[in-house]
Protein backbone atom coordinates (compact mmCIF):
# COMPACT_ATOMS: atom_id res chain seq x y z
CA UNK A 1 0.00 0.00 0.00
CA UNK A 2 1.39 3.38 -1.00
CA UNK A 3 1.68 6.18 1.53
CA UNK A 4 -0.67 9.02 0.65
CA UNK A 5 0.89 12.34 1.59
CA UNK A 6 -1.41 15.05 2.86
CA UNK A 7 -1.04 18.37 1.08
CA UNK A 8 -0.37 21.28 3.43
CA UNK A 9 -0.36 24.96 2.51
CA UNK A 10 3.05 26.60 2.40
CA UNK A 11 3.62 28.87 5.41
CA UNK A 12 4.11 32.58 5.03
CA UNK A 13 7.27 34.42 5.90
CA UNK A 14 8.82 32.93 9.04
CA UNK A 15 10.49 35.24 11.54
CA UNK A 16 13.74 34.41 13.40
CA UNK A 17 11.99 33.45 16.65
CA UNK A 18 9.63 31.04 14.92
CA UNK A 19 12.55 29.67 12.90
CA UNK A 20 14.55 29.07 16.07
CA UNK A 21 11.61 27.26 17.64
CA UNK A 22 11.33 25.11 14.54
CA UNK A 23 14.98 24.06 14.83
CA UNK A 24 14.42 23.23 18.50
CA UNK A 25 11.40 21.12 17.57
CA UNK A 26 13.51 19.34 14.95
CA UNK A 27 15.79 18.04 17.71
CA UNK A 28 12.87 16.42 19.60
CA UNK A 29 13.75 18.17 22.89
CA UNK A 30 11.67 15.86 25.08
CA UNK A 31 13.69 12.90 23.87
CA UNK A 32 16.94 14.78 24.52
CA UNK A 33 15.75 15.74 27.99
CA UNK A 34 15.19 12.08 28.85
CA UNK A 35 18.59 11.10 27.47
CA UNK A 36 20.38 13.74 29.51
CA UNK A 37 18.56 12.60 32.67
CA UNK A 38 20.50 9.34 32.37
CA UNK A 39 23.88 10.98 31.67
CA UNK A 40 24.59 13.24 34.66
CA UNK A 41 23.76 10.63 37.35
CA UNK A 42 26.04 8.11 35.66
CA UNK A 43 28.88 10.63 35.77
CA UNK A 44 28.38 11.05 39.52
CA UNK A 45 28.47 7.29 39.99
CA UNK A 46 31.59 7.01 37.82
CA UNK A 47 33.34 9.69 39.88
CA UNK A 48 31.99 8.25 43.15
CA UNK A 49 31.07 11.82 44.03
CA UNK A 50 30.57 15.16 42.30
CA UNK A 51 32.70 15.28 39.12
CA UNK A 52 34.16 18.47 37.69
CA UNK A 53 31.12 20.58 36.82
CA UNK A 54 32.69 21.84 33.59
CA UNK A 55 33.19 18.21 32.58
CA UNK A 56 29.52 17.51 33.27
CA UNK A 57 28.39 20.59 31.34
CA UNK A 58 30.67 19.79 28.41
CA UNK A 59 29.44 16.20 28.26
CA UNK A 60 25.79 17.25 28.40
CA UNK A 61 26.31 19.79 25.61
CA UNK A 62 28.09 17.21 23.48
CA UNK A 63 25.39 14.64 24.18
CA UNK A 64 22.64 17.11 23.32
CA UNK A 65 24.34 17.91 20.00
CA UNK A 66 24.67 14.21 19.24
CA UNK A 67 21.01 13.50 19.96
CA UNK A 68 19.96 16.61 18.03
CA UNK A 69 21.84 15.37 14.99
CA UNK A 70 20.34 11.88 15.15
CA UNK A 71 16.82 13.23 15.63
CA UNK A 72 17.18 15.74 12.80
CA UNK A 73 18.39 13.00 10.44
CA UNK A 74 15.41 10.92 11.58
CA UNK A 75 12.96 13.75 10.81
CA UNK A 76 14.54 14.22 7.38
CA UNK A 77 14.39 10.52 6.48
CA UNK A 78 10.88 10.02 7.85
CA UNK A 79 9.43 13.22 6.42
CA UNK A 80 7.24 11.23 4.00
CA UNK A 81 5.43 9.30 6.72
CA UNK A 82 5.44 12.24 9.13
CA UNK A 83 3.28 14.11 6.63
CA UNK A 84 0.68 11.33 6.87
CA UNK A 85 0.63 10.45 10.57
CA UNK A 86 -1.59 12.58 12.80
CA UNK A 87 0.84 12.54 15.76
CA UNK A 88 3.62 14.12 13.68
CA UNK A 89 1.63 16.86 11.96
CA UNK A 90 3.34 19.62 13.96
CA UNK A 91 6.89 18.65 13.08
CA UNK A 92 8.70 21.49 11.26
CA UNK A 93 9.27 19.60 8.00
CA UNK A 94 5.55 18.86 7.87
CA UNK A 95 4.44 22.41 8.64
CA UNK A 96 6.97 23.84 6.21
CA UNK A 97 8.67 25.98 8.85
CA UNK A 98 11.93 24.29 7.82
CA UNK A 99 12.91 22.99 4.41
CA UNK A 100 14.36 19.54 3.82
CA UNK A 101 17.71 21.20 3.13
CA UNK A 102 17.52 23.14 6.42
CA UNK A 103 17.06 19.89 8.35
CA UNK A 104 19.82 18.03 6.54
CA UNK A 105 22.38 20.83 6.95
CA UNK A 106 21.49 21.17 10.63
CA UNK A 107 21.82 17.42 11.18
CA UNK A 108 25.30 17.32 9.64
CA UNK A 109 26.52 20.38 11.53
CA UNK A 110 25.19 19.15 14.89
CA UNK A 111 26.68 15.69 14.34
CA UNK A 112 30.14 16.93 13.38
CA UNK A 113 30.06 19.49 16.20
CA UNK A 114 29.18 16.82 18.77
CA UNK A 115 32.09 14.58 17.77
CA UNK A 116 34.63 17.42 17.70
CA UNK A 117 33.28 18.93 20.92
CA UNK A 118 33.47 15.66 22.85
CA UNK A 119 36.76 14.62 21.29
CA UNK A 120 38.60 17.88 21.93
CA UNK A 121 37.04 18.93 25.24
CA UNK A 122 36.25 15.55 26.87
CA UNK A 123 37.98 12.51 25.33
CA UNK A 124 37.93 10.60 22.07
CA UNK A 125 36.25 7.53 23.56
CA UNK A 126 33.14 9.57 24.35
CA UNK A 127 33.35 11.11 20.87
CA UNK A 128 33.52 7.64 19.29
CA UNK A 129 30.49 6.56 21.30
CA UNK A 130 28.64 9.67 20.14
CA UNK A 131 29.41 8.84 16.51
CA UNK A 132 28.29 5.25 17.08
CA UNK A 133 24.98 6.44 18.53
CA UNK A 134 24.27 8.71 15.56
CA UNK A 135 25.18 6.08 12.96
CA UNK A 136 23.20 3.37 14.75
CA UNK A 137 20.06 5.50 15.09
CA UNK A 138 20.17 6.76 11.53
CA UNK A 139 21.28 3.69 9.59
CA UNK A 140 20.30 0.69 11.72
CA UNK A 141 17.05 1.96 13.24
CA UNK A 142 15.66 4.59 10.86
CA UNK A 143 16.82 3.22 7.49
CA UNK A 144 16.95 -0.54 8.10
CA UNK A 145 14.74 -1.65 10.99
CA UNK A 146 11.89 0.81 11.43
CA UNK A 147 9.93 -0.01 8.28
CA UNK A 148 10.88 -3.70 8.09
CA UNK A 149 10.40 -5.46 11.42
CA UNK A 150 8.27 -5.25 14.56
CA UNK A 151 11.51 -5.66 16.50
CA UNK A 152 12.58 -2.22 15.28
CA UNK A 153 12.33 -0.48 18.63
CA UNK A 154 14.03 -3.35 20.48
CA UNK A 155 17.33 -3.19 18.61
CA UNK A 156 17.03 0.37 17.38
CA UNK A 157 16.61 1.51 20.96
CA UNK A 158 20.27 0.71 21.58
CA UNK A 159 21.13 4.18 20.28
CA UNK A 160 19.20 5.72 23.14
CA UNK A 161 21.32 3.76 25.63
CA UNK A 162 24.58 5.33 24.50
CA UNK A 163 24.41 8.41 26.79
CA UNK A 164 25.13 6.23 29.84
CA UNK A 165 28.28 4.94 28.15
CA UNK A 166 29.26 8.45 27.05
CA UNK A 167 28.80 9.78 30.58
CA UNK A 168 30.90 7.01 32.12
CA UNK A 169 33.61 7.31 29.48
CA UNK A 170 33.75 11.09 29.97
CA UNK A 171 34.71 10.63 33.63
CA UNK A 172 36.85 7.49 33.52
CA UNK A 173 38.12 7.29 29.94
CA UNK A 174 37.13 3.61 29.91
CA UNK A 175 34.18 1.23 30.17
CA UNK A 176 33.52 -1.45 32.81
CA UNK A 177 30.66 -3.76 33.76
CA UNK A 178 28.81 -1.00 35.64
CA UNK A 179 28.06 1.12 32.54
CA UNK A 180 27.22 -2.06 30.64
CA UNK A 181 24.51 -2.85 33.20
CA UNK A 182 23.27 0.75 33.06
CA UNK A 183 23.16 0.39 29.28
CA UNK A 184 21.12 -2.80 29.79
CA UNK A 185 18.59 -1.02 32.01
CA UNK A 186 17.81 1.56 29.32
CA UNK A 187 17.93 -1.07 26.54
CA UNK A 188 15.38 -3.33 28.26
CA UNK A 189 13.27 -0.34 29.33
CA UNK A 190 12.83 1.03 25.80
CA UNK A 191 10.29 -1.55 24.46
CA UNK A 192 7.85 -1.36 27.42
CA UNK A 193 8.21 2.42 27.23
CA UNK A 194 7.53 2.76 23.51
CA UNK A 195 5.12 -0.10 22.75
CA UNK A 196 2.27 1.42 24.82
CA UNK A 197 2.69 4.63 22.77
CA UNK A 198 2.49 2.59 19.57
CA UNK A 199 -0.71 0.98 20.89
CA UNK A 200 -2.30 4.41 21.24
CA UNK A 201 -1.19 5.42 17.75
CA UNK A 202 -1.67 2.03 16.12
CA UNK A 203 -3.83 3.44 13.31
CA UNK A 204 -1.17 6.06 12.57
CA UNK A 205 1.58 3.49 12.15
CA UNK A 206 -0.68 1.17 10.16
CA UNK A 207 -1.53 4.02 7.77
CA UNK A 208 2.15 4.34 6.78
CA UNK A 209 2.99 0.62 6.84
CA UNK A 210 5.38 0.85 9.77
CA UNK A 211 5.22 -2.62 11.39
CA UNK A 212 5.26 -1.65 15.04
CA UNK A 213 4.43 -4.60 17.27
CA UNK A 214 1.00 -3.12 18.03
CA UNK A 215 0.24 -3.09 14.29
CA UNK A 216 1.19 -6.68 13.45
CA UNK A 217 0.20 -8.40 16.71
CA UNK A 218 -2.87 -8.43 18.92
CA UNK A 219 -3.17 -6.26 21.99
CA UNK A 220 -2.74 -9.17 24.39
CA UNK A 221 0.53 -10.15 22.72
CA UNK A 222 1.84 -6.60 23.03
CA UNK A 223 0.69 -6.44 26.65
CA UNK A 224 2.51 -9.68 27.48
CA UNK A 225 5.70 -8.43 25.83
CA UNK A 226 5.47 -5.21 27.85
CA UNK A 227 5.27 -7.29 31.03
CA UNK A 228 8.26 -9.46 30.11
CA UNK A 229 10.47 -6.49 29.28
CA UNK A 230 9.34 -4.59 32.39
CA UNK A 231 10.35 -7.54 34.59
CA UNK A 232 13.68 -7.81 32.73
CA UNK A 233 14.30 -4.08 33.22
CA UNK A 234 13.72 -4.29 36.96
CA UNK A 235 15.91 -7.39 37.26
CA UNK A 236 18.73 -5.61 35.45
CA UNK A 237 18.36 -2.56 37.70
CA UNK A 238 18.74 -4.78 40.79
CA UNK A 239 21.83 -6.41 39.28
CA UNK A 240 23.52 -3.03 39.59
CA UNK A 241 23.41 -3.30 43.40
CA UNK A 242 26.13 -5.95 43.81
CA UNK A 243 28.15 -4.96 40.74
CA UNK A 244 28.41 -1.23 41.55
CA UNK A 245 28.08 -1.69 45.32
CA UNK A 246 25.00 0.53 45.43
CA UNK A 247 23.67 1.60 48.82
CA UNK A 248 20.34 1.51 50.58
CA UNK A 249 18.80 4.49 48.76
CA UNK A 250 19.29 3.04 45.30
CA UNK A 251 18.20 -0.41 46.46
CA UNK A 252 14.91 0.89 47.88
CA UNK A 253 14.13 3.17 44.95
CA UNK A 254 14.95 0.53 42.33
CA UNK A 255 12.79 -2.04 44.12
CA UNK A 256 9.77 0.16 44.82
CA UNK A 257 9.79 1.94 41.47
CA UNK A 258 10.22 -1.43 39.82
CA UNK A 259 7.18 -2.87 41.59
CA UNK A 260 5.10 0.10 40.39
CA UNK A 261 6.37 -0.21 36.80
CA UNK A 262 5.62 -3.94 36.70
CA UNK A 263 2.20 -3.38 38.28
CA UNK A 264 1.24 -0.88 35.59
CA UNK A 265 2.44 -3.31 32.92
CA UNK A 266 0.27 -6.09 34.38
CA UNK A 267 -2.69 -3.71 34.52
CA UNK A 268 -2.30 -3.04 30.78
CA UNK A 269 -2.15 -6.77 30.00
CA UNK A 270 -5.19 -7.48 32.18
CA UNK A 271 -7.21 -4.87 30.27
CA UNK A 272 -6.04 -6.37 26.97
CA UNK A 273 -7.05 -9.95 27.75
CA UNK A 274 -10.44 -8.72 29.01
CA UNK A 275 -10.84 -7.02 25.62
CA UNK A 276 -11.58 -3.65 27.20
CA UNK A 277 -12.10 -0.85 24.69
CA UNK A 278 -9.90 1.66 26.52
CA UNK A 279 -6.60 0.01 27.45
CA UNK A 280 -5.14 3.26 28.79
CA UNK A 281 -1.69 2.40 27.39
CA UNK A 282 -0.39 5.88 28.13
CA UNK A 283 -0.48 5.04 31.84
CA UNK A 284 2.40 2.65 31.22
CA UNK A 285 4.11 5.13 28.90
CA UNK A 286 4.11 7.89 31.51
CA UNK A 287 4.91 5.56 34.40
CA UNK A 288 7.90 4.24 32.45
CA UNK A 289 9.31 7.77 32.19
CA UNK A 290 8.83 8.33 35.90
CA UNK A 291 10.39 4.95 36.65
CA UNK A 292 13.54 5.63 34.65
CA UNK A 293 13.87 9.12 36.11
CA UNK A 294 13.60 7.82 39.68
CA UNK A 295 16.11 5.02 39.10
CA UNK A 296 18.72 7.30 37.57
CA UNK A 297 18.18 9.99 40.17
CA UNK A 298 18.94 7.29 42.72
CA UNK A 299 22.03 6.31 40.70
CA UNK A 300 23.29 9.87 41.07
CA UNK A 301 22.29 10.52 44.69
CA UNK A 302 23.32 7.17 46.18
CA UNK A 303 27.12 7.74 45.86
CA UNK A 304 26.77 11.10 47.62
CA UNK A 305 25.35 9.43 50.72
CA UNK A 306 28.34 7.17 51.26
CA UNK A 307 30.43 9.87 52.91
Residue 216's Cβ-count burial label (10 Å; 0-12, 13-18, 19+) is middle
- Phi-psi region at 96: left, alpha or beta (left = phi > 0; alpha = psi -120 to 50): left
Q: What is the pLDDT of residues 208-250, one digit of tens each?
A: 999 999 999 989 999 999 999 999 999 999 999 999 999 999 9
If you write DSSP's letter for every residue of 73-91 in order, what string do you get? HHHHHTHHHHTT-GGGTTS
Q: What was the pLDDT predicted at 3?
A: 54
Considering the domain 176-307 in this protein, what is its CATH number? Answer: 1.20.120
Closest CA to 195 of 238, 164, 241, 152: 152
Considering the domain 22-171 in this protein, what is its CATH number? Answer: 1.10.357.140
Query: Which residue spans of the chain are classified as CATH 1.20.120?
Result: 176-307
- The parts of the chain modelled with pLDDT lower than 70 are 1-13, 307
Q: What was the pLDDT predicted at 11?
A: 59
Helix axes 162-172, 124-135, angle to 10 degrees: 170
Q: What was the pLDDT predicted at 10?
A: 53
Q: What was the pLDDT predicted at 1?
A: 45
Q: What is the dihedral of CA 159, 161, 164, 167, to 10 degrees?
A: 10
Query: Which residue spans of the chain are classified as CATH 1.10.357.140?
Result: 22-171
Which pTM was predicted? 0.92
Amino acid sequence: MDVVVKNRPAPGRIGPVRKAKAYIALTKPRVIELLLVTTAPVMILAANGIPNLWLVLGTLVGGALSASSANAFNCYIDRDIDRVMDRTQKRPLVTGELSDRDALVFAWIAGIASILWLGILINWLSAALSLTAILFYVFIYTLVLKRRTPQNIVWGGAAGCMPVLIGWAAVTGSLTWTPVILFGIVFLWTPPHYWPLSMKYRADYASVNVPMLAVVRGRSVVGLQVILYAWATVACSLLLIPVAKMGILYSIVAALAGVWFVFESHRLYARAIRHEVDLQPMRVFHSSITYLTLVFLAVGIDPLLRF
